[in-house]
Amino acid sequence: MPLRKVVVLSSAGWLIAISVLHAALNLGLFRPGRTVEKTFKVGFLPVTCHLTCPVNHYIQKNLKGDGGFEPIRFNGWPELKEAFLSKYTDATFILAPMAMKLREEGIKVKIVYLGHRDGTALMVHKDSGIFRIDDLRGKKVAVPNRFSNQRLLLFKVLKERGLTFQDIELVEMPPPDMPAALYSRAVDAISSGEPFMGQTELDGYGRILYLTKDVWPGFISCVLAVRDEVIEHDRARVQALVDGIAASGVWLDQQMDNRMQAAQFVSKHYYNQDPRLLEFVLRKPPDRVKYTNLSVRRPDFLEIEQLGREAGILEGKAGFDDYADSTFVKDSATIEGYRFEDRASVLQGKEHGVIR
The distance of closest approach from Cβ of residue 281 to another protein in the complex, given in angstroms and rounded to an integer, is 11
The distance of closest approach from Cβ of residue 97 to another protein in the complex, given in angstroms and rounded to an integer, is 20
CA 184 and chain centroid, separation: 25
Count of residues near another protein by CB under 8 A? 43
Task: Considering the complex, state which of residue 46 and residue 337 has its C-beta at the smaller distance from another protein.
Answer: 46
The distance of closest approach from Cβ of residue 199 to another protein in the complex, given in angstroms and rounded to an integer, is 5
Residues from 269 through 308 that contact another protein (CB under 8 A): 271-274, 277
Q: For residue 99, what are the contacts with CB-CB under 8 A and spacing of at least 6?
A: 109, 111, 223, 225, 323
- 69 in Cβ contact with 241 (< 8 Å): yes
Query: End-to-end CA distance of the chain, in Å?
Result: 70
The distance of closest approach from Cβ of residue 141 to another protein in the complex, given in angstroms and rounded to an integer, is 21
C-beta neighbour count of 161 within 10 angstroms: 13
Query: Counting contacts by CB under 8 A, is residue 30 touching another protein?
Result: no
The closest of 186, 198, 191, 245 to 40, measured between CA atoms, is 245
- 289 in Cβ contact with 194 (< 8 Å): yes
- 3 in Cβ contact with 10 (< 8 Å): no
The distance of closest approach from Cβ of residue 196 to another protein in the complex, given in angstroms and rounded to an integer, is 8
- Interface residue with another protein, options 80, 124, 318, 329 (CB under 8 A): 80
Query: Counting contacts by CB under 8 A, is residue 19 touching another protein?
Result: yes
- Give me the residues that bind another protein (CB under 8 A), please: 2-3, 6-7, 11, 14-15, 18-19, 21-22, 25-26, 43, 46, 72-76, 78-80, 82-83, 85-86, 88, 176-177, 179-180, 183-184, 195-196, 199, 203, 271-274, 277
